[in-house]
Structure 1
Amino acid sequence: MSIASLIDPVTAAGGPANLSRADAWMQGRTLYGGASALVAYTAAVRAFPDLPPLRAAQVAFVAPVGGEIELKREIVRQGRNVAQVRSEIWCEGACALTAFWLFGTAREPNAVHPAAEPNDWPGAPEDAEPVMTDKGPAFIRNFDLRRAQDERGPGAPVVRRWARLTEQGVLNHISELILMGDVLPPGAMRAMQRQGPVSSINWSFNVLDAAPVTRDGWWLSENASQHADHGYSSERLRLWNADGRQMLEGMQAAAIFG
């Protein structure tokens, strides 16, 4: 289902909104994390359309997000170069998601250091094997996922896939990165001793290119567990474009149940 249909009810005025098309973007009993983050981001940029480019964000997934929501957003501080904006999604009178967005104008660089290319480049997405076809939670059906690593089943706690929206040309690429950045399960999934549910708790990320581009909508997504114990995993989340240039660098805490 078109992502535009999901975010159309998000207006500059904020307040109550009915995400009538939320069913196609659900993950269990809540809106998929990337989609709920996109709703909060859209609320911010539609309310304050003159913001500079997005540079970073911190998103807390507090409680399940459903179709009936209330949107709150405010500029916390706006300086000469940087604006910091908070947006929240409320459900049933309680905060379900809170996000802090950092927007910044470009300055003459005093340091230039490109991000490293990914290890073990998987080759072109067009040649990769499709995965998760007609499987998984409802939101997965909005994505074309393809294998980008040889490992299968238990092993090193890294999950890497090529991913793109099945519907192209709907979102600008910053919105697309936000929607896509949380598309994979935690890397700790590969280290689990037994099957069980997993859940994202938060997500912090830096945008490495304010005008990201890629080929034919393809992004290489990777979730890697840096440490897992006591029912939680610290995850590193990264996105590269189809030419191997990193566009997003993030971290996430994930709950590992079971």
Structure 2
Amino acid sequence: MSLSGLYAQIQQSEWVDIPEGWLQGRTIYGGLVAAMLMQKAIAVVADNNKGLLSASVTFVGPVQLGRARLSAEVLRAGKSVTTLEVRLWQDDAVQTILLASFGTQRDSAIQVNQERAAPDYPAAGELQIAQHHPLAPECFKQMQMVWAEGKYPCSASAQPDFGGWFRFEPKLHDNRDMTAADLMAAFDMWPPGVLPMYKTIAPASSLTWNVTMVHPLRSKLQDWFKYKVFTDYAGHGYSTEYAHLWDAEGRLIAISRQVVTVFA
């Protein structure tokens, strides 16, 4: 099932069949889960004039391949901003929660342009697309990823963090206008910033994920994006990091902050 087919199912029914090809170990890749919740939120808001402002995802428990139920509650629908909560259920238990705010652009006398500039990487076509390692999660096949700085995961690096280019795999995803749900599916594909420090393959998973939108999306699904992650702190089995996402024109699209559980 394509992402478009999955989104159509979410539009039409409370129940959804999670498609194959998105496993991250024995569970479903968190970015796809977040995308499903975001698509449900978009369907409930049902207002093209209200774009995504911010979203917070809590990964309560592992989501398995199979059927899931999505429920949504509008917490407040104001003139400018609508805030709602969406939950994913499996086996009568909540596994993931999304809290999202959508809003219209408003006139304001306040204008600040201090967003972080996009890194000056070589063009994606000049670098090597990372090959899918046999032991890497299945979901990585959904994307093309190009490291432009930093080390690969599990390379025993003395330092964390990396950056590069990425996009949806053109062989698997038809080109169309990108949505906020697509952004969630793509943005979380990069591994945690501490993974280059791993000496052997071991798990790491997002616990909480906050995304703030900056400039509106105006990209196609197969367009390249730039990504860079920075780890603030890691210890006692957890790390906290933030990341920036730019489009191919160097516009800052979104900022992410995550708390990650570390099993190494």
With structure 1 as the length reference, what TM-score do the two structures score?
0.90
1:197 aligned partner: 203
Percent identical pairs in the alignment equals 25
1:165 aligned to which of 161, 165, 168: 168
Q: Which moved more, 1:123-132 or 1:152-161?
A: 152-161
Look up the equivalent residue of 2:165 and give its one-letter code.
W
Q: Give the superposition deviation at 1:255.
A: 0.6
CA contact (8 A) 1:149 1:160 kept: yes
Shift of 1:6: 3.4
Matches within 5 A, 1:188-227: 188-192=194-198, 195-213=201-219, 217-227=223-233
Q: Partner residue of 1:112?
A: 112
1:149-160 to 2 correspondences below 5 Å: 149=149, 151-152=151-152, 153=155, 154-160=157-163
Say if 2:72 and 2:86, in contact at 8 Å, map to a contact too: yes
The alpha-carbon distance between structure 1 residues 211 and 194, as it changes in their structure 2 partners (threshold 3 A), is closer
Which residue number corresponds to residue 41 of structure 2? 44
- In 1, the alpha carbon distance for the partners of 2:253 and 2:220 equals 10
1:147 matches 2:150: no
1:14-163 mapped onto 2 (5 Å cutoff): 14=14, 16-19=15-18, 21=19, 23-50=20-47, 52-66=50-64, 67-109=66-108, 110-119=110-119, 121-133=120-132, 135=134, 136-149=136-149, 151-152=151-152, 153=155, 154-163=157-166
Amino acid at match of 2:9: P
- Contact 2:175/2:221 (CA < 8 Å) preserved in 1? no
Distance 1:48 1:245, change over 3 A: closer
Contact 1:186 1:224 in 2 (8 A): no
For the residues of structure 2 that align with 1:4 and 1:26, how far apart are their CA atoms? 18
3-state SS of the aligned residue for 1:222? strand
Count of matched residue positions in the alignment of Structure 1 and Structure 2: 254
Does residue 183 of structure 2 align to residue 186 of structure 1?
A: no
Partner of 1:7: 7
Q: Distance in 1 between matches of 2:220 and 2:7?
A: 23
Give the superposed CA RMSD: 2.1
Deviation of the 1:37 alpha carbon? 0.3
